[in-house]
Each structure stands twice: as structure tokens, then as C-alpha cells.
Amino acid sequence: MASEEITQNSMAPQNFPEEIIMEILSRLPVKSLIKFRSVSKSWLSLISRTQFAKAHLEISIKKNKGEPDSLAFGCTSETGVKLRTCNLDSFMNDLKYINAAEIYGDTVLNSLWMIGSINGLICLSVRPSEIFLWNPSIRKSKKLPPSGFTYGQFSFISTYGFGYDEVNDDYKVVETYGFTNDSCMYIADVKIYSLRSNSWKQIEGWPGAYVAGSTTVFVAGSFHWPGRSKRPWFITSLNLATEMYDEVPLPRYNVDALSELMVGVLRGCLCLFCNYTTHLDVWMMQEYGVGESWTKLACIMDIENYKYETPMPIYVSEIGTVVMNYGSTLKLYDSSDNTSNVQENSLDDPEPYHEAITYIESLVLPNSEQEGNQQPGQWGTKDDDWDFQQIG
């Protein structure tokens, strides 16, 4: 009996140095860590710390070589917005997904924009000025305060981007509000939201370009927009640290035949999607800011068969398989032999609108309680969270 008690006590979690426990736990999947919060109060406190979340994220990024490991997708429905997640490898190999959660909102929600993902946080919008930060791994979310832009006065185009300010350890959202005034002049106002301060501020000095499309991407510490003015196409950037605008050099592409130019992020690099109506060229800037480093990553043929909208690549594997977001489906495209629709996954819902984004699983909190301000064990503010209902 005595020897049995000694064995049990020696295996108790509190008998191990915290440094060793942290070293072991930081290498485990998020789902396991969520369960292990119930082991003891000390484990709950450890796993809930910002320091632990950062250490776990750093190991995960290194393990995945900076690539995402999960896929989130969703659509609007009669009851609100439906969001689901799955493992990226599982989707690409078996085209299976797991139902993660449904978000029930009011019935007038008619849009869903996946704005961006950074360190496991996903930024999305369900209507202009209604933006959320969401960590699907720990099922926590935060609704951002409104930016203060007044919608409906003019014909406007609003765009959003989501980024991380490494200098200030702060997650930020940018909103551009472009409109044509009574004098038929295009004007763009820019505001940036800081998660740390939970507030918006105006950024002056917009270079005057017309914002083309609704895509804003974050790469190498800067936001990027495709734009047009008197010249054909170009990319405007805004550096988060300096809050200065710049312009990114473009590759040598066929400008005259170009129907639409969009920006994206693949393999952690800035990408261009050049729509020529018949095909879509995917360019990747391998060394940021160096025009000569642009490389054509893939050419997606026969896009005239995509009747409703342009397919948007959201992930490219090392062997060249492209995951494309298109309408109510997610498609796989083999760029090695230019075959599309090799496999297809469609939501069970009849709603045609569909958005998807890749992300990496993490413990990062989507609220402003950072760097030790948060009490151990308290993950987020309940009033900030969506009404999640487990459906799978």
C-alpha cells in the first residue's frame, strides 16, 4: 500500500518542475491542452498564460515551417453565420471536414468576409463595420468597436485587412472607406484598430489611388491594396511600424489583357492573382520588395468555366496542389498538369455564398488582455464571445 502511494505521488503533476512541464505541454496539440486545463489548478494557470501561448505558437510555427495547419470556412444562412473548421491535410487528402460550430445571429446577416488570419486569430466581418476576431481553436471571439465611418452617404467601397505589429506586440485591423463624392472625385479614408488599446485612429496621406476590389492582405509588416489611377494597376502598401505608404514593384505580366488584379498571401509571401478571363496567373514575391524575385507559381486554366466569380487560391502545397475558394465550394487544382476540379468539397447548405481561410492552431486570445493583465484561467470576456453551439 505504501509503495503504491509513493508511486502515485511521484507522478503527480505538481512534483515536476514547472519548466519541464511547460517544455512538454508546449509541444502538444491545442485540443489536448484544452483538456489538460482540468488536470490541476497549476496546469490551468500555466496553459492560460500569455507566455505559454507564445511559446506554444512559436513551436507550432517552427514545426509547420510557417505553413497553416487548419482550414476555416463558412456561409450565411437563414439563422445567421455558419462557421466550420477542419484539418488542412485531412481536407486535401480525403476532402472531409468536421463541423466545428454554428454562430447564430439575426436573420438579416447577408455577408461573410474572411479578412485574414495571424497566429491562430481569424479576423472576419459579417457586414460593414461589424468585425470580429475569432480563435476557432479555443472558441473565443471579440467584437470590435465600430470605426466611426458613416456608411450610406455615398457609393462606397470598404476594404479590411488584419495584421500583427511585432514592434508593439499588437494585432491591428485596417479599414479603408473609399467613396465618390458629389464632384465625382474618389476619396479614401483609412483607419487602423489596435487590439491593445481597443480603439481606432485615422491614418493620413492616402496616395490617391482607387482601391480595386475588396482585398487587403498583410505581408512583411505591411498592408497591401491593389489599386488603379491614371496608369493601369499597382500595389499600395502601408507599413504598420512607420505608418508610411509605399508602392510594391510588380512582375512583368501582360498588362493589356489583364481583366482584374488581386493580392493574396501564399507560403508567407505576397502574391498576385492576375485574371485574364481565360486563365489565372499566380505570382509570388519570394523576396519582399525585390521586383526581380517575382515567380509565377501556377497558371489556373479554363477559368471561364467558373461562371459566378474568380476562383481565389488560398493555399499551395509543396507539390503544387492549389486549394481554391470558389462560390459555395472549395476546389483542388493540380498545377503540375493544369487539371481543375480534380476533387471538390461543397457545403451541405444551399446558400451560395461561401468564404474560406487557412490558419494555424494556437492559444492566442482575441481580446486586449495581454501580457499578464489576464487572470489565470480566464480566457476572454464572456460578453465578447459568440453564442457557439456544438454541432459535430
In whole angstroms, what is the distance from residue 64 CA to residue 369 CA? 27
155-178 pLDDT, tens digit each: 667 789 999 999 889 999 999 887
66-359 — its CATH code? 2.120.10.80
Three-state SS at 351? coil
**pLDDT winner (highest mean) among 15-24, 48-57, 304-313, 373-382:** 48-57
Whether 160 contacts 131, CB under 8 Å:
yes
Domain ranges of the chain: 66-359
Three-state SS at 333? strand
- Mean pLDDT check: name the lowest of 13-17, 25-29, 361-365: 13-17
pLDDT at 343 over 60: no
285-320 pLDDT, tens digit each: 999 999 999 999 888 876 666 656 677 888 988 888
pLDDT at 348 over 70: no
Whether 210 contacts 219, CB under 8 Å:
no
- Mean pLDDT check: name the lowest of 56-70, 116-130, 131-145, 327-341: 327-341
pLDDT at 351 over 60: no
Share of the chain above pLDDT 90, in %: 29
- Cell numbers at 6, concatenated: 509513493
Q: Which residues sit opposite 192 in a β-bridge?
A: 174, 201
pLDDT at 265 over 50: yes
What is the pLDDT at residue 212? 65
pLDDT at 149 over 50: yes
Structure letter (DSSP) for residue 109: -
Whether 204 contacts 197, CB under 8 Å:
no
Dihedral, CA of residue 286, residue 287, residue 290 and residue 291, to nearest 10: 0
Q: How far is CA 246 from CA 189, 190, 228, 238, 315, in A?
A: 16, 15, 15, 6, 27
